[in-house]
Amino acid sequence: MSGWRLCDYEAAARERLAPAHYDYFAGGAGEEITLRANVAAFDRLALVPRVLRGAGRPETGVTLLGCRASMPVLIAPTAFHRLADPQGERATARAAAAAETIMIVSMAATVAVEEVGAAAPGATLWFQLYVQPDLAFTERIVRRAESAGCRALVVTADSPVMGVRRRDIRNRFLDLPAHLHCENLRDGPGGPVRPIAMWPELSWEHLAVLRRMTDLPIVVKGVTHPADARLAIEHGAAAIMVSNHGGRQLDGVPTAIDLLPEIVAEVAGPDGSTVPVLVDGGVRRGTDVVKALALGAAAVAVGRPVLWGLAAGGEPGVAGVLGLLRAEVEQAMTLCGCAGVGDLTPDMVRSVVPPC
């Protein structure tokens, strides 16, 4: 698949997927304003490279919450990988292991977290959690994620209810096909599968409960307001993920890349200390990654591009997408005169008026 660009994977995925499943992956909430804006926002930013720095071949690797990744691109948690490929999350995890990057396994995975870990022993996995009102059940799934070897807990905060996804309503996409289930929601092996609850009562108090429940570092995903970034840290978050859920929750939210600088400024301690700020939404090429890092992100995550790789070509497809992003990041860093991610600074990014 060499020579492919990310848009080629999306086109191939679209041809292979049932239209309702393509729409589920591709779609956003409401009028899809935020969905479109996420991608467009990167094009309104320009990179100002530094020259003659003798930087050599760049080191693209990063360490996040004690986990090494070969590039500052993580796999965002996305549901239902077996809609895209029979191996589903197993294939994604194997490609993540081969690329040496971190996969955030979704609570709504169609392969149990234990099986994802077993399928890709070399993979670094984090687990995304929708905190369930049944806190005893929540604790059981946290223990399962720990036993499966997950190294961080990513708590999704932007989904007190599900966003209104008009494509899914139009397509009557309500349930998974009968042979697929959210395996992390099973009450014991072979037991019944619970529906995932979105919980409007979820609050900062529960973050403190989780903090006491586990020694895993907690990432709060779906932060957009700077005041919430601060609250997340005050409640023990080890990292923050600036995200509008890929435009799938509240439509009209600013793009994650536009929110990033304010949040980075807010979480910077007076002594220069800070927690890592991750960002996702609309990252589609290496220069997008470099822009986010220059604006203060410790790393980015990609959601849909991984699903396109998976639907287009299973594990090799995901490997192709990750390899492409990795090569593009390296190329962009080299052209920016950067030896490592720490050399990317905010002065290297400018807002531009789009050409008319």
Ligand X SMILES: O=C(O)C(=O)c1ccccc1
Ligand Y SMILES: Cc1cc2nc3c(=O)[nH]c(=O)nc-3n(C[C@H](O)[C@H](O)[C@H](O)COP(=O)(O)O)c2cc1C
Q: The tokens of 188 are what?
A: 């014991």
CA atoms within 13 A on the CB side of 174: 2
Is position 283 an interface residue for ligand Y (rule: CB under 6 A)? yes
Compute the distance between CA of residue 162 and CA of residue 57 in angstroms, rounded to an integer. 44
Compute the distance between CA of residue 156 and CA of residue 197 in angstroms, rounded to an integer. 12
From ligand Y, ligand X, none, which one binds at residue 196 (CB under 5 to 8 Å depending on kind)?
A: ligand X
From ligand X, ligand Y, none, which one binds at residue 94 (CB under 5 to 8 Å depending on kind)?
A: none
Element (H, E) at 344: none
Cβ 269 to ligand Y shortest distance, Å: 26
Is position 248 an interface residue for ligand X (rule: CB under 6 A)? yes
Residue listed under structure tokens 């996040």:
64
Compute the distance between CA of residue 131 and CA of residue 104 in angstroms, rounded to an integer. 16
From ligand X, ligand Y, none, which one binds at residue 303 (CB under 5 to 8 Å depending on kind)?
A: ligand Y
Element (H, E) at 280: strand 277-280
Cβ 272 to ligand Y shortest distance, Å: 29
**Binding to ligand X in span 100-119, by CB under 6 A:** 108
Is position 77 an interface residue for ligand Y (rule: CB under 6 A)? yes
Q: The tokens of 318 are what?
A: 């995901």
Compute the distance between CA of residue 66 and CA of residue 270 in angstroms, rounded to an integer. 23
Q: Which of 85, 89, 228, 280 binds ligand Y (CB under 6 A)?
A: 280
**Binding to ligand X in span 69-88, by CB under 6 A:** 79
Is position 196 an interface residue for ligand X (rule: CB under 6 A)? yes
**Contacting residues toward ligand Y, per CB under 6 A:** 25, 38, 76-79, 106-108, 128, 156, 221, 243, 245-246, 248, 280-283, 302-304
**Contacting residues toward ligand X, per CB under 6 A:** 79, 108, 196, 245, 248
